Copies of this chain bind each other. A is one copy, B any other.
Amino acid sequence: MNKKKRFAVVLAGCGVYDGAEIQETVLTLLAIDKTGSTYQCFSPNINQYHVINHFTGEEMNEKRNVLVESARIARGNIKKLTDFNPDEFDAIVFPGGFGAAKNLCTFAIDGADCLVNPVVEEAVLKSNKAGLPIGALCISPVLIVCVLGKMQVTIGVDKSTAEAIENMGATHKNTDGSDIVIDEENKIVTSPCYMNDASIGIVAQGAENVIKALYGLM
């Protein structure tokens, strides 16, 4: 783990209910930095599925762009996902948040029949073909399963999401806290983070466990 590696991190907006889960994203970036490596954030240049008022929980009559909002977490240092080249990276990571299931794919609306945004799908397929290990936190394993099918993942203990994952051809394993599931054959590492009732410290440890496991699959 002493060689500097390059991580691509794919964001789905900025906010748990309609975008990337902010805390999971920041703690992923921290884990990468703490292990001595570098990161580059990416996001698709598309409109959000919708905008949620995070104080009231109600939908707002607004339009927001996933790339523009993701840039808030990345402090402006973000690239369009169409510019992602797997040859320039050693691993790719998808933090969670509803944005992963509303903006990057349609899982929150369509369940096991979900469609993945074509740019996101291409990024996953190209990464897999190039042999990059893939990390997916919280709900985002659903989009990896939707693209690649058969694999073993975890999204925690949510029964209906786990069933949908199995209906898409993957195997689900229940996990708690900062546990991770490593699928060595398909080079996928997953951890439940805020899909379970977790503290920020648990999420930080889960993200760190995912990042550390990815080094072993490079």
| Chain B residue with Cβ nearest A80 | B55
Q: How far is the CA of A33 from the CA of B201 in the complex (A)?
A: 6
Contact of A23 among B14, B75, B78 (CB under 8 A): B75
Please state the number of chain copies in the assembly.
Answer: 2
Interface range on chain A: under 10, 10 to 19, 20 to 34, or 35 or more? 35 or more
| Chain B residue with Cβ nearest A73 | B22
Per-residue interface assignment for chain A, residues 6 to 30, with 1 indicating a CB less than 8 Å from any chain B CB and 0 otherwise:
0000000011110101110011011
One of A64-72, A143-151, A159-167, A178-186 contacting the partner: A64-72
Instruction: Check if A204 sits within 8 Å of B54, measured CB to CB.
Output: no
Query: In the complex where A14-B15, A15-B14, A68-B53 touch, is A204 in contact with B75 (Cβ < 8 A)?
Result: no
Within 8 Å of chain B (Cβ to Cβ): is A4? no
For A65, what are the chain B residues with a Cβ–Cβ distance below 8 Å? 55
Within 8 Å of chain B (Cβ to Cβ): is A57? yes
Instruction: Check if A33 sits within 8 Å of B72, measured CB to CB.
Output: no
Query: In the complex where A14-B15, A15-B14, A72-B22 touch, is A55 in contact with B30 (Cβ < 8 A)?
Result: no
Within 8 Å of chain B (Cβ to Cβ): is A34? yes
List residues of A (175-218) whose CB comes within 8 Å of B's CBs. 194, 199-201, 204
| Chain B residue with Cβ nearest A56 | B68
Within 8 Å of chain B (Cβ to Cβ): is A118? no
Smallest distance from the beta carbon of A24 to chain B beta carbons, Å? 9
List residues of A (53-107) whose CB comes within 8 Å of B's CBs. 53-57, 62, 65, 67-69, 71-76, 78
Instruction: Check if A14 sits within 8 Å of B201, measured CB to CB.
Output: no
Smallest distance from the beta carbon of A100 to chain B beta carbons, Å? 15
A selection of 23 A-B contacts at a CB cut-off of 8 Å is: A14-B72, A16-B75, A16-B76, A17-B76, A22-B72, A23-B29, A26-B200, A27-B30, A33-B199, A33-B200, A33-B201, A34-B201, A34-B204, A53-B68, A53-B71, A54-B68, A54-B69, A54-B71, A54-B75, A55-B67, A55-B68, A55-B78, A57-B76
User: Lowest 9 CB-CB distances: which A-B pairs, in order?
Assistant: A15-B72, A54-B71, A26-B26, A55-B71, A33-B201, A54-B72, A55-B68, A33-B200, A23-B26
